[in-house]
């Protein structure tokens, strides 16, 4: 049985430009996506910034009206039957906003418990339990303005669990968290999934999607470019190896030269401080290293590593090296 059903969903925006001569430009945030999430499934959405992940979540949580297509959550249409959906879902959007900074963590929780019609005797027990669960038990009475970004993120997570929703939409829930905090949140998500909650998770972190999700949709430029299990997605790059080359100050034309080689599948560049890390996908594996060194001659080169592809490499291939 499907809890979420999305059919040819599209969302356009009108972007306004100019001061004197005002013009509008049509921006397609979500072009045409269709997918379904089964009851109790943990479904992931992966994609670069601006791919349309958050817009999709906002439509599914009834905060945005689709331009075209339909989406149903728990059997109800998100555009026409929003009232029937809202009390049964929970959602968080990454970031520090969306909290009352002058109130304590507990006061924020109390307020949202009232909004979600949680009975006072239930919320009296549930709020301290959730605050402990997200590691804020000892800071619960402090004003939110003194919380770190990670603490605010954890408070968001506690807030969304207040009314024990059947469906959870988690838009980058580990963003801004330290590694330990992020690991705890991932464990929390696993526990929620064990309770058979339906979860739609968007993330930038491939290992997070790999570790948590039963199926992953890779979204790029408003379209789903792949939808499968993490294992099946990794199979997209099973014939390739990844050569990671650490370089300092690599010019764009050199990257383009590497990219144009027949033995190179994709190239992505990760900037780390003063250096760049080139991730080159190639079917030739370590045999490609001498040719790559020739192409990069004259540049200061650091570490060179040849490894098996990961979900991240599959993702890079699917979105065309834009990650």
Partner 1 sequence: MSAEALRNNGRVAWAAFVMTLRMQAPDSFTLFTIVVQPLIVAVLAMWMLVERGASNAIYVVVGSGMTGLWSGLLFLGGNSINWERWTGTLELLVGQPTPVAVIVFGKNLAIVVLSLSGMVVCYALAALIFRQPLSVGQPLLFAGSLVLTVVAFVTFGLVIAPIFLLSPAVGNFQNALEFPIYMLCGFLFPIALLPGWTTPMSYVLGPYWAARALHGTATGGADVSEVLLSWGMMLALSMIYLLISGRLVELMLKRARSDATLRME
Q: Is 117 in the site for partner 1 (CB under 8 A)?
A: yes
The only residue of 51, 99, 240, 296 in contact with partner 1, by rule CB under 8 A: 99
Q: Is 107 in the site for partner 1 (CB under 8 A)?
A: yes
Nearer to partner 1, 42 or 89 (CB): 89
- Binding part of the chain for partner 1, among 39-47, 102-110, 126-134, 198-206 by CB under 8 A, reads 102-110
From CA 106, how far away is CA 127, in angstroms rounded?
7
Q: Tokens at residue 319, please? A: 């979105």
The only residue of 43, 112, 147, 315 in contact with partner 1, by rule CB under 8 A: 112
Cβ within 8 Å of residue 148, ≥6 positions away: none
Q: Binders of partner 1: how many residues, by CB under 8 A?
A: 30
From CA 6, how far away is CA 11, in angstroms rounded?
13
CB 307 within 8 A of CB 242: yes
Closest distance to partner 1 from the beta carbon of 307 (Å): 38
Coil vs helix vs strand at 320: coil
The only residue of 101, 129, 248, 263 in contact with partner 1, by rule CB under 8 A: 101
Site string for partner 1, 6-35 (x = CB under 8 A): -------xx---------------------
Closest distance to partner 1 from the beta carbon of 116 (Å): 6
Closest distance to partner 1 from the beta carbon of 167 (Å): 12
Site string for partner 1, 36-75 (x = CB under 8 A): ----------------------x--xxxxx----------
Start-to-end CA distance of the chain, whole Å, equals 33
The only residue of 36, 116, 275, 299 in contact with partner 1, by rule CB under 8 A: 116
Q: Output phi, psi for 38, to 5 deg.
A: -75, 155
The only residue of 24, 75, 80, 98 in contact with partner 1, by rule CB under 8 A: 98
Cβ within 8 Å of residue 219, ≥6 positions away: 33, 45, 46, 47, 51, 52, 53, 56, 225
Closest distance to partner 1 from the beta carbon of 145 (Å): 12
From CA 25, how far away is CA 15, in angstroms rounded?
5
Q: Tokens at residue 90, please? A: 């929970």
Residue 57 buriedness (CB in 10 A; 0-12 / 13-18 / 19+): buried
Q: Is 95 in the site for partner 1 (CB under 8 A)?
A: yes
Nearer to partner 1, 98 or 249 (CB): 98
Q: What does the angle CA 38 – CA 220 – CA 205 come to, to the nearest 5 degrees?
A: 70
Q: Is 207 in the site for partner 1 (CB under 8 A)?
A: no
- Binding part of the chain for partner 1, among 82-90, 124-132, 214-222, 239-247 by CB under 8 A, reads 82-90
Helix axes 179-194, 149-160, angle to 10 degrees: 10
Q: Is 229 in the site for partner 1 (CB under 8 A)?
A: no
The only residue of 100, 142, 246, 254 in contact with partner 1, by rule CB under 8 A: 100
Closest distance to partner 1 from the beta carbon of 27 (Å): 10
Q: Is 91 in the site for partner 1 (CB under 8 A)?
A: yes
Closest distance to partner 1 from the beta carbon of 85 (Å): 9
**Helix-strand-coil split of the chain, %, nearest 5:** 35, 35, 35
CB 40 within 8 A of CB 198: yes
Q: What does the angle CA 119 – CA 124 – CA 125 come to, to the nearest 5 degrees?
A: 105
From CA 52, how far away is CA 33, in angstroms rounded?
10
Binding residues for partner 1, per CB under 8 A? 13-14, 58, 61-65, 83, 86-87, 89, 91, 93, 95, 97-103, 107, 110-112, 114-117
């Amino acid at each position: 049985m499907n809890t979420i059903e999305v059919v040819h969903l599209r969302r356009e925006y009108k972007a306004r430009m100019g001061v004197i001569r005002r013009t509008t430009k049509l921006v397609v945030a979500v072009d045409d996506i269709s997918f379904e999430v089964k009851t109790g499934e943990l479904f992931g959405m992966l994609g670069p910034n601006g791919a349309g992940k958050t817009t999709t979540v906002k439509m599914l949580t009834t905060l945005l009206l689709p331009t075209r297509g339909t989406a149903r959550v728990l059997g109800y249409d998100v555009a026409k039957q929003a009232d029937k959906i809202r009390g049964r879902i929970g959602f968080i959007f990454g970031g520090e906003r969306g909290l009352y900074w002058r109130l304590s963590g507990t006061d924020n929780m109390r307020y949202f418990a009232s909004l979600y019609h949680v009975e006072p005797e239930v919320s009296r027990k549930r709020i301290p339990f959730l605050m402990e669960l997200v590691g804020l038990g000892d800071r619960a009475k402090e004003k939110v303005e003194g919380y770190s970004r990670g603490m605010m993120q954890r408070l968001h997570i506690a807030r969304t669990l207040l009314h024990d929703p059947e469906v959870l939409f988690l838009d980058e829930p580990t963003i801004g968290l330290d590694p330990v905090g992020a690991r705890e949140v991932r464990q929390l998500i696993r526990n929620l999934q064990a309770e058979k909650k339906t979860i739609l998770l968007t993330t930038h972190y491939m290992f997070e999607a790999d570790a948590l999700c039963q199926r992953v949709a890779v979204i790029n430029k408003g379209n789903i470019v792949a939808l499968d299990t993490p294992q099946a997605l990794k199979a997209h790059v099973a014939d390739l190896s990844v050569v990671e080359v650490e370089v300092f100050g690599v010019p764009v034309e050199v990257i383009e030269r590497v990219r144009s080689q027949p033995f190179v599948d994709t190239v992505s560049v990760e900037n780390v401080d003063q250096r760049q890390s080139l991730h080159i996908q190639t079917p030739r594996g370590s045999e490609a290293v001498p040719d790559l060194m020739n192409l990069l001659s004259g540049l200061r080169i650091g570490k060179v590593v040849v490894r098996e592809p990961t979900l991240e490499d599959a993702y890079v291939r699917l979105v065309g090296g834009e990650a």
